[in-house]
A and B are shown apart, each in its own frame.
Chain A
């Protein structure tokens, strides 16, 4: 498989959106693994990095979910291609800036990706659209067990899987959910939620991880600690935190409808109008408008079938995807023009909102 055909085919996130994904857009689990008696990538010499890459790539490429996959080294990728893979959550920003001997293996359906020589020798990742922690864990656990049959992992009975950074020790697992929380944002409750979630040992980040902003009211919630608790224990705790966030979001939607439905409908209606008529849109504004329309779909003002269009546009409005679609590199001002034109054409035939279909419960 080539990078061009991978980019041309839809990712799990862009096309699998269904009803169940109303609040949790995507579930993702990654495992950090290292080979015994080899220096970690950040400290290894170039020859050692190459040696580790050879061992890891061979083992990974023969694992069954990755047999017909894209295998590519970071230096074979162009800047735009790297950006697209980051926007699809298939590689990290750290990998896209890394040195010799780093590579990535991505499954054909773009649900499994394994980064080699990122911060750790192996960063195994599985993602699924929707709220699918259990299923995602089963897939990644099986892949990890298959890899361990041929790779000698660095492991200590007391400290678990040994990782370059001690914050990943133990299970080496980070499980996360990408959540769309517009009502909590509109009603200024996110700060409170973040504090409560932190207190439960979970972290809240923006759409693209550490340090990124939460445009589009999309947040990533993941476990903070990896040592002293089993994978199942972490997933169970995360699940209950996510369920309670979902409940809070639904309550906030209900309250917004009760308190001032006119104001909320106005926001959604205006977002629709801007999508159809604007000529300049930066990615943050585009994300926020798409978020409002997605809220309109969840509330019932637009048909459910349109949700997957919005989820696709969340990705296609990103700078890398936009430039790739327009076949060129453009500066931010040109991109804003192109983005607006693209969204105008997407919304030209987008069904009109019908606010009379919204019932007061906030759940359609």
Chain B
């Protein structure tokens, strides 16, 4: 199972100085690579999605292969909220996240009774169903053409959504910052610790009096809410929602990032997202199909040899160096 040092469990809610590096790096990117702000914004959004996926799969142990569903719901909600005339971005994203969380809360009591293969299968099945339904319901989703033609009003009434993308970038960074620390608090709370207990041994948690299903449903909706906000950010910053947000690719991207960064480690998503998105960006320019080899090999190598992902490997390497 996933190893957690006891000290890490107790000190997890504290602020660690190395964390500041990520936020500093994110701000530095704005000044150093202004021409790459569009892809950098995508990286932040995908990182937020990975944070939410990690909350479900890494901390609560919910083996879901359908998390992209909530990203997609968030994206379409944000698109429609803007199309209906409410163009304020922050509340739009918040409302989209809440809707995604409500959907997860409604599905959860049915899905989360299952474990293992049936759970994987049903979550995958549900996301395939919704994708097909969205494809058919073009009055709602725009079908293949997607939702377009909405513009957001200036952020907080002051910052216009310029073509340079700096408003988008800091908007996404702000959401990632706030929700990352929210998830961090959740994970370190008694609720979060009991989620990890359920992940390790659901039966034992039930025997000591935890209502496991309720815990899992709450975790699932919280995670879906964060994923919904990520989807909303993608809709608002691209001013476009396509069927791709509901596709399996989105889920797989999030999953690979979580695995790459280290399942059940909070910072993993923050480190995995830039690495994965950059590799993907350049590998796809090289040849889109060799990309499949890269993803497959990455997954197999990290799962087989690198317990704890890049971060775990780095820690192990560091420990090895210190021992020498």
A binds B: no
Tell me the B residues contacting A by CB distance below 8 Å: none
